[in-house]
A and B are shown apart, each in its own frame.
Chain A
């Protein structure tokens, strides 16, 4: 399985991702993470700009991070760091994604302790949160555009319907959807030979 380096098509375990780079990238994303649009930011930095990871590898991390306990953004950061550089990579991603928000929130706690309100601030943050959501939406749309065949669309649609619109509990839904979707991917691979 040992391949010469320089293969830029699929880089599941890219050696170019240095620990310091991982820390730097995730720190800037940790600071930008208002309102939960982080999967979008990570996709842009890790898949599109740096090509540290393949599209499929990234999306597997998104699914895994949502199914397991813990905040989705922290889970996805840990997964990316670990796939790139093992536990040290995961530690860098963890520090980067949580360190800056940890310090900012302590700063806000101090301001609160001194009796400052944050009413006007909240309005601006609402707008920033909407922009953050746009980031996630754009990532989903971009990925969806690349899907081939009817079955991935059926899976996307029914997952959204069940969890987004009908508000069914996520765990049982994905417990059904994931095996079904993997089965479809497998069947498709066999049909192509």
Chain B
């Protein structure tokens, strides 16, 4: 048991530091380690876990919890999460600490003003990439457009989300969408 927990940490901690942009960049290696190298599960099981992780809130890389769970139960789930999130978090905190110490200096303000448009471009690119990755059809794009208009006019995101969930559940029950 202890060996498995250690193995989980050894798999996830290095992946943590190369997980640029979060989950998608490390799924392939995670699958290779869990299925081929350590034999914690079959390839089919990994695919099921991937579907489950898509259905849960939180970052996509949270599949590490499921891999840990499959390999070693609750402690394994914990080891998976700590292994994948603690190293990258420490790196971010180290840089954030230096940043915070600079206080409200003119240099920091210039850097912040320069970073802002890059961040906005990244946000747009992220929305576009996720739409493409999910193979969004006219239904999703219409939903996205209507929700964006509602939000820009000051609607609460919680209300928007609840309306969309009810609408989709209703349409699915009626057999209009989904298979």
Binding site for B on A (CB under 8 A): 1, 10, 12-13, 30-37, 39-41, 44, 55-57, 59-60, 62-66, 68-75, 78-79, 82-83, 86-87, 90, 94, 97-98, 100-102, 104-106, 108-109, 112, 118-144, 147, 151-153, 155-160, 163-165, 167, 170-171, 174, 177-178, 181-186, 189
Contacts and interface: CB of A to CB of B under 8 A. Distances in A.
A133 B131 contact: yes
A101 B56 contact: yes
Contact of A124 (B93, B99, B169): B169
The interface centre, meaning the residue of B23, B111, B157 with most chain A CB atoms within 10 A of its CB, is B157
Interface of A is mostly: helix
Interface string B152-174: 10000110110011011100100
A57 B161 contact: no
Contacts of A75: 88-89, 92
Interface of B: 16-23, 48-49, 51-62, 65-66, 69-70, 74, 77, 81, 85, 88-89, 91-93, 95-97, 99-100, 103-104, 109-131, 134, 136, 140, 143-148, 150-152, 157-158, 160-161, 164-165, 167-169, 172, 177-179
A126 B57 contact: no
B62 A60 contact: no
A151 B130 CA distance: 27
Contact of B134 (A39, A126, A138): A126
Contact of B57 (A34, A71, A83, A160): A34
